[in-house]
Amino acid sequence: MDWTEGLLQVHACPAPVDAHLLRLLGQKSPALRTRLRSGAQQLPSRLIQYPAAPSRGRISVSSEDLQCLAQGEFLNDVIIDFYLKYLLLEGVGGAVAERSHVFSSFFYKQLSKRRAAGEDVSVPDRHTRHQRVKTWTRNIDIFNKDFLFIPVNQEAHWFLVLVCFPGLEEPKLEEFSPSSEALRAGGGLRSQTPPECTLDGCRKSSVLKRPCVLVMDSLKLSHHEAVCRLIRDYLHVEWESRRGSKRLFSTETFKTCNCRVPQQDNSSDCGLYLLQYAQAFLQNPVVDLELPVRLDAWFPRQHVRDKREEIRRLVLRLHREQSG
């Protein structure tokens, strides 16, 4: 990479690593120090680190990242990762969030990379891919979680893959009792009737809980078969590594469903829809996994239209709090 791009990568490191690396670079020679000063003028201004220190896994959001929140711009991976983490930790919280795990957008990027020249060709492909990301879950057993959120960017298009009940080996029926709030909502206090398969919309006395992969995509033209296959392969090896036994994650035992979800009406809001799908699930999750899953009326389109400004205000508020 060129000098400016290298500086951007250094600047993106969490403190105090960034300052240490820049200091080392500046001590190399007077020429480098001069170039560093001129290149630093092009560096993005860091606004926040989230979550705040001393929490682990912090994400740095810069003023440059905020530019992608302008109308018509595509969301970048920093905004996607930041807002998903915020939803889980603070934005929604509650029981569903506690039973969920959110992967970084880089997870699928690493998982889907082609085999590199130096990688052992005698090792099965699924194990090679798992090797690249195995440390990402060293502090968590994903099979103890009910939901895994995986943001995917394929051919410059964002969509959400949601793995449900990865630790469950077969479907089972569970008793279900609609909450009083859900019954009131169904009585006409909401402007939009919640989908029947969700917590707020379900009126059944029993619901189906099953291990499966839900794909939530705001464009119907996208293809997901290869993505879901790689995720099943990952789960296969992760189970073997974590549990020490064999388990088959096949299309029969771990079904895929392309959910019917609200669709985008332009060419730039796919990342916003991904974030809104995640938020809607945390607030009003699918409780009945009879396939196919229909979520057409999950949320009004205005929620997505408001999201750019909502995220911008959130980042600036956190910036004031962290700067104070």
pLDDT digits (tens, 9 = 90+) for 77-118: 999 999 999 999 998 878 899 999 999 999 999 999 987 777
CB of 241 closer than 8 Å to CB of 216: no
Residues 160/274, Cβ–Cβ less than 8 Å? yes
| Residues 57, 51: Cα–Cα separation, whole Å | 8
Burial class (CB in 10 A: 0-12, 13-18, 19+), 245: exposed
CATH class given for the domain over 98-298: alpha beta
Name the catalytic one among 81, 200, 217, 269: 217
- What integer pLDDT is reported at residue 45 of this predicted model? 85
pLDDT, one tens digit per residue, over 135-151 is 999 999 999 999 999 99
Answer yes or no: 270 catalytic: yes
Distance, CA of 285 to CA of 193 (rounded, Å): 14
Q: What pLDDT, on a 0 to 100 scale, did the predictor assign at position 116?
A: 75
CA 292 to CA 295: how far, in whole Å?
10
- Catalytic residue selected from 11, 101, 270, 288: 270
One digit per residue, the tens of pLDDT, for the chain of length 324 reads: 445 456 555 655 655 666 677 667 654 433 444 444 444 445 558 899 999 877 778 899 999 999 999 999 999 999 999 999 999 999 887 889 999 999 999 999 999 998 777 767 778 889 999 999 999 999 999 999 999 999 999 989 999 999 999 999 999 999 998 764 444 444 333 457 899 999 999 999 999 999 999 999 999 766 799 999 999 999 999 999 999 999 999 999 999 999 999 999 998 999 999 999 999 999 999 999 999 999 999 999 999 999 999 999 999 999 999 987
Q: Which of 18, 127, 141, 157 is catalytic?
A: 157
Task: Report pLDDT for 14.
Answer: 58
Q: What is the pLDDT of residue 195?
A: 95
Q: How far is CA 275 from CA 97, 152, 232, 258, in A?
A: 14, 12, 23, 17
Cβ atoms of 11 and 43 closer than 8 Å: yes
